[in-house]
Structure 1
Amino acid sequence: MSRLPEFAADFHLLWLISTGGLGGIIGSFLNVVIHRLPVILERRWRREALMLLAHSEPESEPVFNLMIPRSHCPYCFQPLSIRDNIPLLSYLFLKGKSRCCGERIPIYYPLVEITSSVLFILAASRFHPGLTLVAAWLFIAMLLVLAVIDCRTAMLPDVLTLSLLWLGLLFSLQGGSVPLEEAVVGAVSGYLCLWGLYWLFRFVTGREGLGYGDFKLAAALGAWMGWQVLPSVLLFASVSGLIITVLLRFVTATDFTRPLPFGPWLALSGVCHFLLM
């Protein structure tokens, strides 16, 4: 009987290590989404624009989606071997450079895998195995993708923000962190709050301070956590974003008028609040 606590501790440690490995594997796939989804959307928009302007079907392009073609170097397009696709370890073994052409691998690749792994472990420490934990992992993964895409392209794709919103409502319907009524009110409140701030800022300054993707992301966070948590989520996102932005401006001596994405701070705030709920 005296060995039961020791066995339980060993099992818990093994569980956390396993979830960390799972987070790294998922993070590797998230990098694929981060890299390919903006390209897929750009191709679709370009194709629709050509059809509208030329009134004819444009020439077909090679298949390009999240699965096809296989993983390849973003510079020389050489297919990657399995040994070059191991989360984080491949980056370390290759010393941050592509094996085929020697170009430097973007730093966000290992950072996404590390962040995903750490957040998966934190979620596994916070929630018992079950629907809530799976939902937390999905929530974290989608917010991580949105944050990095917004940093890289200043875009929050509807296919992700709206999917996250509906998943939050479905999670609440299945007995999630908040009742369905609070989730619906949270979604509406999140959208209207940032929508109102957008128009107020535009009226006062004549410039756009937020994007419509930010409205939808705030609505998604409201759907997952309810309207009561929303003020704290928005305040944390605003304060953390402001502090880091000011520090970056002074450190890098960049122009204060250059817009910076708000999505990453909403995502950071959303993850922190969800794990602490």
Structure 2
Amino acid sequence: MLMVEALDALALGALGLLVGSFLNVVIHRLPKMMALRWAAECAELQGHSSEAPPTAEAPPRFNLMTPRSRCPHCGHQIRWFENIPVLSYIALRGRCASCEARISPRYPMIELLNAALFAWCGWRWGLGWTALAWSGFAAAVLALACIDWDTTLLPDDITLPLLWAGLCAAALGLSGTTLTDALWGSVAGYLSLWMVYWAFKLATGKEGMGYGDFKLFAALGTWFGWQALIPVILMASLIGAAIGIALKVFSQLREGGYVPFGPFLALAGLTAMIFGPSSILATIGL
């Protein structure tokens, strides 16, 4: 039995490496795609056509597939054997094959972390739809955490599919949450942070969080049910406070002292997936 669990974990872990490589593309490109979309919408609202004139050269396509990945320093196009998860980074010694510019170690770290999350799902649930569902949850939450940390954005392109996927997983019996609990989890998750947002804004005149946080918390509610919302928000707050204090001590706070809350919600969601929401309350003595 132990051998079967190990093989299941190994198989999903290998898949997690490949998905992790794609997550690096999503984390890097999706915010840029959003910025281009917003620019086009602003131009249209100002009365300018977002389409190029017939005689003008069409702008290059930019999405998750096009153009192919290149070195940001020298423009070297990444060849397939330079894009093998983790192994290529080791073989290249963390440097571009052309200009030898340093490649951020975050790329293999995300690949390894996603592989570990997928492997855990394989170990916990075995090869099957349940493990695949929770693996998808983990990948989406990991991507959201990184994007929000980099840009303070939580894209609807990920949060809303994550919410709907949670409802579908509950309806199909894949998440361990009833559809009723998932539905009320999404409602309570969204409204609870929405009310906190407006209470803080009315009291201070400032925005303490973004609407993406409401949607992410609602998505977590669909996956874990309304009963898990309190332990998840408590864990997120504890993680956020610890990291915020550490950043302040080491003078690493970004301009304005703002720290996005989404990454801490994401970490709390992953903690709940691995240990269970009830164990979070037990850990903090509640």
> TM-score, normalized by length of structure 1?
0.92
Q: Residues of 2 paired with 1:47 and 1:275: CA distance?
A: 41
CA gap of 1:11–1:224, structure 2 versus 1, over 3 A, is closer
CA gap of 1:185–1:12, structure 2 versus 1, over 3 A, is closer
CA contact (8 A) 1:249 1:255 kept: no
Partner of 2:109: 111
Task: Please state if 1:181 is matched with 2:180.
Answer: yes
* Among 140, 143, 146, the residue aligned to 2:144: 146
Task: Please state if 1:56 is matched with 2:56.
Answer: no
Partner of 1:192: 191
Structure 2 counterparts to residues 1-277 of structure 1, below 5 A: 8-59=1-52, 60-176=58-174, 177-252=176-251, 254=253, 257-277=256-276
Partner of 1:4: none
Q: Which amino acid aligns with 1:150?
A: D
Specify every segment of 5 or more residues in structure 1 that has no aligned partner in the other structure, as ranges. 1-7
CA contact (8 A) 1:146 1:264 kept: yes
Q: Residues of 1 paired with 2:42 and 2:237: CA distance?
A: 36
SS at match of 1:229: helix
Give the drift of 1:17: 2.4
SS at match of 2:165: helix
CA contact (8 A) 2:159 2:219 kept: yes
SS at match of 2:64: coil
Deviation string 1:103-127 (CA, Å, 9 cap, x unpaired) is 2222321121111011111111211
Q: Residues of 2 paired with 1:189 and 1:247: CA distance?
A: 31
CA contact (8 A) 1:165 1:223 kept: yes
> TM-score, normalized by length of structure 2?
0.89
Q: What is the identity percentage for the equivalent residue pairs of Structure 1 and Structure 2?
A: 44
CA contact (8 A) 1:169 1:180 kept: yes
Range 46-55 or range 230-239, more displaced: 46-55
Q: Which amino acid aligns with 1:39?
A: K
CA gap of 1:90–1:206, structure 2 versus 1, over 3 A, is same
Range 71-80 or range 61-70, more displaced: 71-80
CA contact (8 A) 1:50 1:58 kept: no
Q: Residues of 1 paired with 2:222 and 2:137: CA distance?
A: 11
Deviation string 1:133-174 (CA, Å, 9 cap, x unpaired) is 110010000001101001111100011111110111111111
CA contact (8 A) 1:20 1:121 kept: yes
Q: Residues of 1 paired with 2:2 and 2:254: CA distance?
A: 52
Q: Residues of 1 paired with 2:222 and 2:159: CA distance?
A: 11
Q: Residues of 1 paired with 2:4 and 2:179: CA distance?
A: 35
CA gap of 1:227–1:73, structure 2 versus 1, over 3 A, is same
Q: Residues of 1 paired with 2:216 and 2:8: CA distance?
A: 32
Range 115-124 or range 245-254, more displaced: 245-254
Give the drift of 1:255: 6.8
SS at match of 2:18: helix
Q: Which amino acid aligns with 1:55?
A: H
Range 258-267 or range 60-69, more displaced: 60-69
Deviation string 1:62-93 (CA, Å, 9 cap, x unpaired) is 11111122222233332111221011121222
Q: Residues of 2 paired with 1:123 and 1:166: CA distance?
A: 20
SS at match of 2:226: coil
Q: Residues of 2 paired with 1:222 and 1:74: CA distance?
A: 39
CA contact (8 A) 2:201 2:208 kept: yes
Q: Which amino acid aligns with 1:67?
A: M
CA contact (8 A) 1:195 1:215 kept: yes
Q: Which amino acid aligns with 2:274?
A: L
